[in-house]
Chain A
Amino acid sequence: MSSGARAFLGFVYGGVVLAPAAWMFARAFDGEGAGGTALQEALSRVADQDLLANSIWLALLTTLFALLLGAPLAFLLNLRSFPGRALLGRLHWLPLLIPPHIHAIAWARVTGDRGWLTTWLRDVFGVTLNIRAPIGDPASDAILGHLYPGPAWVMACAFFPLVTLPVSSGLRALDAEGLEAARLLGRGTAAFRRIILPQVAPRLAAGALFVFVLALTTYPVVSLLDTPTLIQRVFFTFAQVDQGAGALLALPLVAVALVSAALLAVAARPAEVRTAGVRAPAARPGGLLATLGAVALLVLAAGVPLGSLLHEAGPLRLFGDGPVDNYQSVFGRVGEAFGHSLLVTVVAVAAVLVVAGPLGRILARRGGAVEAAGLALLAIPPVVVGVALVLFYGDAARGELPAWFVAAWTLLWAVPSAVRSGLRAGAAAGAGVLAFLLLAGAAGLAVPVYERGIALVVLAQVALVLPLAVRMLRAAFRALDPAEEEAARICGHGVFSRALRIEAPRLGGAIAGAAVLAYVLCFTELAASLMTLRPGWQSVQVRIFNMVHYQSIGEVSALCVLVIALAALPVAVVGLCLGRRWEVV
């Protein structure tokens, strides 16, 4: 890897992405919060209430639900042929387009205190359903008292495509001939158990780990459903008690998520094999049962919440003299927020693509350790990412970034590279980090970033989305034929010419996939925006989060439907234009 590439990696990962989080934790240990009563109070409450236990159980339960929803759907869509399979294959993205907080709002209308399902179950069977309550008594049940199936189900509905996607990708990459041979020779489910399952198990594990990490760190759902988890306490402590204490309180959560993210990095390796162009195994006839199964899974996870929102929002009256419908009424109030959110999203997606492209190219050949460090970012909850950015740029703008941190963080990036690849490599990696820290501090870049505009929100979204986008583009770069590029190089084409004429046409699908993923994640992001919005800027997700507390449910539902439609629009457009040539690995 060239020195320039190392410096670039250091600048992006060591600086832009990870330096704020590192500074936040360093600051917490260095500041008054570490020994203060606020921290002691916060920590004692964590111990008292077993919030970490609640978080772990919630994440495990979410993962279980997501596996139950996502894996069968993947198997049905890829191993069985049935009417409507192609359509369902497109629609299985849908739950991912509904942000988790909107899932929570929708499910609360179904299974909340006055939800139609709750009412029906109570009237018919005398069963009381409470989406917010644990199964057992928290005071006496060591396990059941910490299991909250409501929020776990809501998050599973939001995240299960993250299981379906890698498993589908793995199933398409199966050796078609081998599988056919096994099917001809085997009986019953033998081929499935002995051929298919062992080969897709790593992808299943990767999907499960991804869901686990997200469930552990997602804030809006547990906030809306009032689930006593560690991430909820972290947010409360950040916002209302002490930022240093909040950072330290987040450490156990980050540690658990970090272990999972490390395993994810290992588990996701097989998923980097490109499946585009590989002949997928032939699907066997599935018949009506397969159709019903796939439809039922999708209806359960996406149809119910979407239907509930559409029902609550009421009809859209574009013509006629009737009363103004909820859609028009709410859009009149939040039109500006929509504009701001879209602007932030477009800028963030552009930034992600501009940075992820070169990173994917660099890491396609080497740099697994650096990329693993980038994946570690998945372990940092979005709430913490938001606070870290505010603290880092705030302190840098005030000139309070200490020299010891600049030196220590630079060395932390330089030394491992120096040990592995020599002094020159270490110096390059350190120079990248140092350049960023000096740009933020000495050159005064932190001042405009911190004080005005959308830079902080964009940075938060870039930090959250970049690892995923890089993974996608890295896999695509790896699939390129190096001989073609070598030939172009010998013919005298420079880096940019090669990128434009050789790589771009072959990477179109991957770039489109990364762009769509970044768009959806940025547009629907809430937790970091709660922390990073500057005066004068709004976010439509934050508006929903607030309005659900006091606005009529009809208007809130209409707003949620508009958000989902806007999130789905580019996915539909790109899907129609590129067909199967774009994919999320």
Chain B
Amino acid sequence: MRPVTIIGILGLVLTGLLPAQRGLDRESGTLRSREVLGTLTNGPGGSGPDVLRPVAFRERSPEPPSRPRSGAEPPEVAVYVSLDEEHATAVLKSFEDETGIKVRANYDTEDNKTVGLVNKIIAESGRPLADVYWNNECGQTERLRKKGLLDVYVSPAAAEIPEKFKDPEGYWTGFAARARVLIYNPKLVKPEDLPRKLEDLADPKFAPKCAMAKPLTGTTLTHAGALHAAWGKERTEAWLEGLRKNGVRFERGNAQVARIVAEGERAFGMTDTDDVHVQRLDGRAVDQVLLDQGPDGLGALLIPNSVMILKGARNPETARKLVDWLISAKTESTLAAGRSAQVPLRPGVSAPAHVVDPAKVRIHQADWREVASMIETHQVALERRFLDAAPGAGSDSGSGEKGGVASIWFALAALLLALGFVFLALRPRKAEPVR
């Protein structure tokens, strides 16, 4: 038999038998060609070929299906994690050891960050690959809730967590937070010479000593959203523009900010408490202060991790167990004592002395739904302002000014010239005789 015949038969089998079987089941053994054709093009129940409609090789439903696993398979849970892998691995490993449930984790990358992972969850919404999402902040979590991609789960373990760190309807629960702080290098600046308020960072007397992550993702984006909610659009944009003019060095992420301050490239910078602590553990002489702690100050933003069960999770039982584990006092204590030095939200959870105590500092009281709404509203403007910024610079060079249309023409001309050389090289010719 010729291979093409085999492929033809294979095609017939695949196109005919599988959908036809569905037709047979439904019609009690009656197989009609129109039915099969309709099934092929429009899914079961289709009445005829309509090439503009999806093929629907399998049945679709408007809601993501819940697909519990059979009991014979070993228990497992798939989780997406936005917290840095080095911090999260130990917690997930201890969950595995304690419960015997296998954890299949997928972490964000330093380029994708939280927004990338959230977009991935959105893209997978019809058929989620993960059961649980452990986000390292909660602004983007609200985005998922608004899109209807989360299941409600009120964990008994969440009872002691303050209400302001939980979703009122139970879609997500906050735990173990990080604070936005000013990291500084004591070799370059004295504590008394540091800015006291966020707005001081735009003060020319601090130029150009400061670094900050671009507010495009992660906690810096959440912070920008919180400032939009607290200050309003105009004041926040004026402040951000002030930062640019003040030569603030915009880095890719908070870890880089902490690193360049530790290495002495900048005297201070806005980052998260975990990044400061990691630098300390690596033997770098850095310290941190909380801004806006005055009587009329906004307070330091405390951004909790948030955990949620994704709608359509195929392992709902193990997902609930993982959520319970993550928001437990034990996990908060582990994260506080670990490299990320996260702030326990429960009162009374033991934490080392270097961890910020929320009871002793002024906290920026953020409404997370409003913060998420602000992020959604202003994200494009932030991207426009910061995405094209020249690398490692805080100057105006790249703030939307362009090199002119000429640059693309020059580039294309150079390309054509280069391709011309290639053409000449490829031109068939004989070797010249040597004289």
Contacts and interface: CB of A to CB of B under 8 A. Distances in A.
Q: Is B a genuine binding partner of A?
A: yes
A403 B414 contact: no
Contacts of B216: 240
A139 B401 CA distance: 6
Given A204-B425, A534-B106, A137 B14 contact: no
Given A41-B383, A240-B217, A535-B80, A139 B398 contact: yes
A442 B431 contact: no
Contact of B418 (A63, A333, A428): A63
B112 A443 contact: no
A432 B7 contact: yes
Given A54-B411, A146-B411, 9 more contacts: A52-B408, A52-B411, A399-B55, A400-B60, A431-B4, A431-B7, A444-B58, A549-B252, A552-B282
A422 B198 CA distance: 73
Most buried by A among B391, B410, B421: B391
A190 B431 CA distance: 11
A272 interface: no
A236 interface: yes
B55 A194 contact: no
B263 to A, nearest CB: 6
Contacts of B40: 403
Q: Which secondary structure characterizes the binding site on chain A?
A: helix
A191 interface: yes
Contact of A431 (B8, B255, B380): B8
A266 B58 CA distance: 44
A442 B2 contact: no
B231 interface: no
30 contacts: A3-B2, A41-B384, A45-B388, A49-B398, A53-B403, A57-B414, A113-B260, A141-B403, A142-B404, A201-B425, A202-B425, A208-B422, A228-B390, A240-B119, A243-B123, A263-B426, A267-B425, A399-B57, A402-B54, A407-B51, A428-B4, A428-B7, A438-B14, A536-B105, A542-B109, A545-B110, A547-B86, A549-B110, A549-B253, A550-B278
B78 A535 contact: yes
Interface in B285-328: none
Contacts of B8: 431
Given A45-B387, A50-B403, A403 B86 contact: no
Contacts of A474: none
Contacts of B126: 398, 400
B309 to A, nearest CB: 15
B250 to A, nearest CB: 10
Given A45-B388, A240-B112, A431-B11, A139 B397 contact: yes
B392 interface: yes
Interface in A430-482: 431-432, 434-435, 438-439, 441-444, 450-451
Given A57-B411, A236-B387, A404-B51, A138 B109 contact: no
Interface stretch (A219-227, A273-281, A295-303): A219-227
The 7 closest A-B pairs by CB, nearest first: A4-B3, A536-B104, A226-B391, A3-B4, A53-B411, A239-B116, A201-B425
Contacts of B387: 45, 233, 236
A223 B111 contact: yes
A114 interface: yes
Contact of B402 (A50, A114, A194, A398): A50
Most buried by B among A139, A199, A427, A545: A139
Given A138-B398, A228-B391, A267 B422 contact: yes
B85 interface: yes
B111 A198 contact: no
A267 B115 contact: no
Contacts of A530: 109, 111-112
Contacts of A533: 106
A434 B109 CA distance: 36
Nearest to B124: A394
Interface residues of B, number: 102
A6 B3 CA distance: 10
Interface in A167-216: 178, 182, 185-186, 190-191, 194-195, 198-199, 201-202, 204-205, 208-209, 212
Given A266-B426, A399-B60, A401-B55, A53 B18 contact: no
Given A228-B388, A530-B109, A536-B106, A53 B410 contact: yes
Nearest to B17: A442
A401 B422 contact: no
A546 B403 contact: no
Nearest to A184: B434
Contact of A438 (B11, B252, B391): B11
A263 B431 CA distance: 22
A406 interface: yes
Interface string B408-435: 1011101100110111011001011111
Contacts, number: 285
Contacts of A199: 431
A375 interface: no
Interface residues of A, number: 115
Interface string A376-417: 000000000000001100101111111110110000000000
Contact of A194 (B85, B123, B408, B432): B432
A54 B412 CA distance: 11
Given A7-B3, A435-B11, A50 B408 contact: yes
Contacts of B124: 394
B129 A451 contact: yes
Interface in B41-86: 41, 43, 49-60, 78-80, 84-86
A284 to B, nearest CB: 16
Contacts of A201: 425-426
B399 to A, nearest CB: 9
B305 to A, nearest CB: 17
Contacts of B429: 198
Contacts of A54: 411
A545 B109 contact: yes
Given A333-B86, A444-B58, A451 B402 contact: no
Contact of A402 (B55, B408, B432): B55
B4 A536 contact: no
A143 B113 CA distance: 33
Given A114-B265, A205-B425, A239 B119 contact: yes
A142 B407 contact: yes
B228 to A, nearest CB: 19
B119 A142 contact: no
Contacts of B111: 223, 235-236, 239, 530, 545
A483 B84 CA distance: 62
A331 to B, nearest CB: 15
Interface in B110-152: 110-113, 115-116, 119-120, 123-124, 126-127, 129-130
A91 B8 CA distance: 50
Nearest to A195: B431
B10 interface: yes
Contacts of A450: 127, 129
A53 B414 CA distance: 10
Interface in A526-585: 530, 533-537, 542-543, 545-552
Interface in B355-395: 380, 383-384, 387-388, 390-392
A399 B59 contact: yes
Contacts of B269: none
A95 to B, nearest CB: 22
A550 B255 contact: yes
B353 interface: no
Contacts of B432: 194-195, 198
A256 interface: yes
A227 B50 CA distance: 47
Nearest to A333: B86
B90 to A, nearest CB: 11
A56 B41 contact: no
Given A3-B2, A256-B415, A546-B107, A41 B380 contact: yes
B52 A551 contact: no
Given A431-B11, A434-B11, A45 B384 contact: yes
